[in-house]
Amino acid sequence: MIYFACGAILAVVGILWLISPAKTPNPLYGYLSYLARQTQESFRYAQKVSSWSNIGIGSLGMCLGLIIHFLHWDRFFILWLITVPLLILIPIVITETNLKKFLIRRHQLPSDYIDPDKVTHKRVKGFKDL
């Protein structure tokens, strides 16, 4: 039932954000990231995409939780506990990917933005790689 509970929380948060989206960036309510704070349009777009992705993934998690419960796979609780963070991470990945595409289309992607998939680390002798 952990998938059902987590999915329900995601869906409720998505519905709340859809009904009453955040008007300004704040750390307590709404979707807030580096890309979302670039322009007012990107902030509004991030709120919309995040609310719909939370509703979709939350509903999917609830359905998955019901399937697990009705098939009596509850005894694999540790497996569900290990994989439930993926359920929480998917809406964030969806929102950031769509937000990056949105900013690229409008030529507003910040010049100091570093794509997380293209980060390379250089080893320096004698110092810890940061």
Closest CA to 34 of 105, 104, 114: 114
Q: Could you tell me the pLDDT band of residue 126, with boundaries at 50, 70 and 90?
A: low
Is residue 27 scored above 70 in pLDDT? yes
pLDDT in tens, 56-95: 999 999 999 999 999 988 888 888 889 899 999 999 999 9
| Burial (0-12, 13-18, 19+ Cβ within 10 Å), 31 | buried
Quick one: pLDDT at residue 91? 95
Average pLDDT, the chain: 89
Rounded to whole angstroms, the maximal C-alpha distance in the chain is: 56
Q: Could you tell me the pLDDT band of residue 130, with boundaries at 50, 70 and 90?
A: low
**Would you report the helix, strand and coil content of the chain in percent, each value rounded to 5?**
65, 0, 35
Return the DSSP state at 106: T
- Once rounded to an integer, what is the mean pLDDT over residues 32-39? 91
Quick one: pLDDT at residue 124? 65
User: Structural domain boundaries of the chain?
Assistant: 2-109
